[in-house]
Amino acid sequence: MNVKFFIIFLFGSVFYHNPPVDVEDENLGMWKIENGILIEDKTDKTNLALSNWNIFYNIFPKRLTQKYIKRLVLISDGVDEKTGALGALNKNNTEWQLVLDPADVDFSSKNKERIHQSIYTLVHEFGHLLTLNNTQIKPTIKKEVERNEPYLTIEGQALKNSYINLFVVRFWNGSLLNEWDYIQKKYCFTEQKSCLEKLYGLYEENYTDFITDYAAESPEEDIVESWTAFVLHEKIRKPETVAEQKMNFFYQFPELVTYRKIIRKNIRKYQR
């Protein structure tokens, strides 16, 4: 994947805390979700929203989607730009917003690659919900953490035994996390292009550690890209790289193995 695609994909992943829609994006509408049910309105995109939501809702574990997802937003910026996003709607990480671009997430397409990308996007975004909700992350005003403290995300500080903290302790502690943190402080708060180039360089230097180059964008994206591979691919019996170890990381959690079975069963009809 080249730098250009890395940049495009970066913007298509996750927005935090009530994500804004860019001025160049076409806002197709916003719908409230109550207990897993989309509240219809009289706008002309309601049927499209209902179709997209029903697909998402019927793929993933209903207990989690009912509990957390409270809003669906449809935007469009053309094909293969921003594909989807997931963001917290409050500071407690108890309510979330799902953003989709129906130009990219299109289960009516006859193109198998488009169907695959649609499934991939939904599994990826569900992974953010799984790893950043209020059972995993606690709100904090901290900007930095002391040595050996749990990982600090934009949403808050990870609980010690949360998926993402265990993932960071195993795969990111040491020089990799230090280098990533340096890139964030030196480049990502000042100049976007340099930030993206440095992150892609981090991937190139450690390419066997990551499922995709996008995974090097942050531990949050790394765990979700690894989660997506865990769901969509078979178990690696003899992992030879760190990337393959990351795919197998989730098998230690019985509930995630169950979620994997549910999701794989529910997406089967779209893969024919």
Domain ranges of the chain: 3-132, 138-270
pLDDT band at 18 (very low <50, low <70, confident <90, very high): very low
Q: In b/e form, how buried is each residue of 244-267, taking b as 16+ CB within 10 angstroms?
A: bebbebbeeeeebeebbeebeeeb
- What whole-number distance in Å separates Cα of residue 56 and Cα of residue 51? 9
pTM of the model: 0.89
Write out the two tokens for 143. 């900007």
Q: What are the C-alpha distances in Å from 47 to residues 29, 54, 110?
A: 11, 10, 20
Alpha helices (runs of H) in 133-253, residue ranges in sequence order: 163-171, 175-183, 192-205, 219-232, 242-248
Cβ–Cβ under 8 Å, residues 103 and 76? yes
- What whole-number distance in Å separates Cα of residue 52 and Cα of residue 101? 10
Cβ–Cβ under 8 Å, residues 33 and 71? yes
Residue 242 identity (one-letter amino acid): V
Find the range with the poorest average confidence among 24-33, 57-66, 67-76, 152-161.
24-33
Flag whether pLDDT at 102 surpasses 50: yes
